[in-house]
Amino acid sequence: MYSDKVMEHFKNPKNTGEIPDADGVGTVGNPVCGDLMTMYIKVKDKRITDIKFKTFGCGAAIATSSMTTDMAKGKTLEEALKITRADVATSLGGLPPVKMHCSNLAADALHAAIKDYNKKQEASNEVKK
> Closest Cα to residue 10, out of 54, 59, 77?
59
Catalytic residue among 39, 102, 105, 106: 102
Helix (H, G, I), strand (E, B) or coil at 9: helix
Residue 94 burial (C-beta neighbours within 10 Å; 0-12, 13-18, 19+) = middle
Judge whether 47 and 69 are in contact, CB under 8 Å. no
Catalytic residue among 7, 33, 36, 100: 33
**Residue 53 CA: distances (Å) to CA of 16, 30, 63, 128:** 5, 16, 11, 31
Is residue 102 annotated as part of the catalytic site, yes or no? yes
Judge whether 104 and 85 are in contact, CB under 8 Å. yes
Is residue 58 annotated as part of the catalytic site, yes or no? no
- Just list the catalytic residues: 33, 102
